[in-house]
Amino acid sequence: MADVDLLVAGAGGGLAGALRAAEQGLTVVVADANPAFRRGNNTAMSTAMIPGPGSRFQRAAGVEDSPERFLADVDAKTHGTADPAVAGTLARVGAELVEWLADSVGLPISLADVDYPGHSVRRCHTVPGHHGSSLLGGLLEAAESRVDLLVPARLTALEPRPDDAGWRATLARPDGSAEELTARAVLLATSGYGADPGLVGKHLPEIADAAYHGSEYATGDALRLGGALGAASSTLDAYQGHAGLSAAARTLVTWTTVMGGAVVVDADGRRFGDETVGYSEYAAMLAARPGARGWVVFDATIDAATQGFVDYRDVAEAGALRWADTVDGLAERIGVDAAVLGAELADAAAVARGEAAVDRVGRRFVARALEPPYVAVEIVPALFHTQGGLAVDEDARVLDAAGRPLAGLYASGGAAVGMSGHGAAGYLAGNGLLPALGLAYRAADHLVRKVPA
């Protein structure tokens, strides 16, 4: 007999798997290496956006969507390079997942009233404040009476038990002590490798010098543990970047500013691309500009519309917003040439007013022309989390090099291959959290089917 049915390594999105397994009668232990995981893991640091194509929340809002439509958007964004098994299973489970989070976990889920690049309809679901700390807090509250939590404890070794009887896990404590635990199955939900400079430099050289804005414990544990067991890996060059990290506050100026009509200029006041292609790939573009810094330029209307985001309020409260009543005044405040900045704003405004079909940088959609007073926030490029990891199937089972599942071993989130294809350009908003929670949810359901009643 094993000590528990399921050991989950990682108390972020993996909690969805823990809760799903526990509510169906399995015994579950969750271990996390980070003593401050409640605010310091990648789930807690997210904007809490989860795509749920075809959900009841969409239907109530009159939004027509389906897994097939979502997959078409994923295919277009990734140019057909997303893992088909993972993308397909997550597209199908997304609506069920967000409804389960509302009904079984008790989270105040709603359809986000925002547009994001690459999504053909509004399908991201979120919680009040649009912040991952609230999402994680709800998962933890639901987990308190259903699972055992070991923190801080890092999974450092896995050994198969005889006769396919599960795994013997070694959990290390910060004081140097260790304990062993046997489990019928293990879910690796330890995030990716964004906090390991060596791995980032090897797989993501274009973003290696950017700020890292993720969990300090995302050091590639799943890759090492899985690799030692013969597991395959996939799309290790995939990542989510972000070009909207406030240089002063080190929290997000959300890209909803851009979708509302904002523009991005570099340190010389010049635009350098179509901002609506996506904030992830824009990070590397910003990193390549002079000084690897720039400014998001918007106005009071967009400022008011963005106050619902906790991250943005943090930026404002940090004093990072530079206000001015005129374009010339704003140019002076941010240290750029007024004529250059004025020409860039006028170019975008022409598209907003319908006077031009496309502007100088190729942008075809500008929601509205900016009006005084104007505001700018200095931004730096950032790496948020990696999107490649262990190869898994549609049930989140870890696969070996021959494509065979390793019995009783699952992976989710940054520990597993995601649905973003290669590089940064394939990332769609919410496609970090969906694999984190969705693959964990799928793993639990598969395990339930395999464990005798």
Q: What is the CATH number of the domain that holds 319?
A: 3.90.700.10
pLDDT in tens, 253-276: 999 999 999 999 999 999 999 999
Mean per-residue pLDDT, 367-374 = 98
Tell me what percent of the chain is helix, strand and coil, each rounded to the nearest 5.
35, 20, 40
pLDDT tens profile 385-431: 999 999 999 999 999 999 999 999 999 999 999 999 999 999 999 99
Residues 125, 42 within the same domain: yes
Number of domains in the chain: 2
Phi, then psi, of 438 in degrees rounded to 5 = -70, -45
- Of 352, 383, 414, the residue that ends a domain is 383
Q: Which residues span the domain enclosing 345?
A: 240-383
User: To the nearest whole number, what is the mean pLDDT of the chain?
Assistant: 96
Q: What is the pLDDT of residues 329-358, one digit of tens each?
A: 999 999 999 999 999 999 999 999 999 999
CATH, residue 195: 3.50.50.60
Residue 354 burial (10 A CB sphere; 0-12, 13-18, 19+): exposed
Is 186 exposed, middle or buried, given 0-12, 13-18 or 19+ CB atoms closer than 10 A? buried
**198 and 255 together in one domain:** no
Query: For the segment 144-202, what is each residue's pLDDT rounded down to a tens digit?
Result: 999 999 999 999 999 999 987 899 999 999 999 999 999 999 999 999 999 999 999 99
Sorting pLDDT into bands at 50, 70 and 90, what band is 1?
confident
Tokens of 94: 């997304």
Tokens of 342: 């004025």
- 175 and 283 inside one domain: no
- Mean per-residue pLDDT, 3-15: 98
Does position 295 have pLDDT exceeding 90, yes or no?
yes
Same domain, 119 and 249: no
**pLDDT tens by residue, 190-227:** 999 999 999 999 999 999 999 999 999 999 999 999 99
Q: Does residue 61 sit in the same domain as residue 187?
A: yes
- Residue 165: its pLDDT value, please? 86
* 451 — pLDDT class (breaks 50, 70, 90): confident
Region 118-123: mean pLDDT is 97
Domain closes at, from 366, 383, 400: 383
Note whether 222 and 335 are same-domain residues: no
Given a cut of 80, is residue 321 above it in pLDDT? Answer: yes
Of 383, 412, 429, the domain-final residue: 383
Contact predicate 217/10, CB 8 Å? no
Asked if residue 320 has pLDDT above 60, the reply is yes
| pLDDT given at position 450 | 85
Residues 255 and 283 in one domain: yes
Examine the domain organization and report whether 371 and 437 are in the same domain: no
How distant, in Å, are the alpha carbons of 243, 344, 375, 384 from that of 250? 12, 26, 18, 12
- Are 42 and 11 within one domain? yes
Task: Report H helices in 324-397.
Answer: 327-334, 338-352
191 and 304 housed in the same domain: no
pLDDT above 60 (res 453): no
The reported pLDDT for the residue numbered 452 is 62
Residues 245 and 230 in one domain: no
Q: How far apart are CA 248 and CA 239, in angstroms?
A: 24
Judge whether 90 and 124 are in contact, CB under 8 Å. no
pLDDT score of 2 more than 90: yes
pLDDT(86) > 60: yes
Beta bridge partners of 169: 158, 181
Domain match, 217 and 257 both: no
Task: Return the percentage of the chain with pLDDT > 90, whole number.
Answer: 97
Taking the C-alpha atoms of residue 223 and residue 233, their distance in angstroms, rounded to an integer, is 7
CB 363 within 8 A of CB 350: no
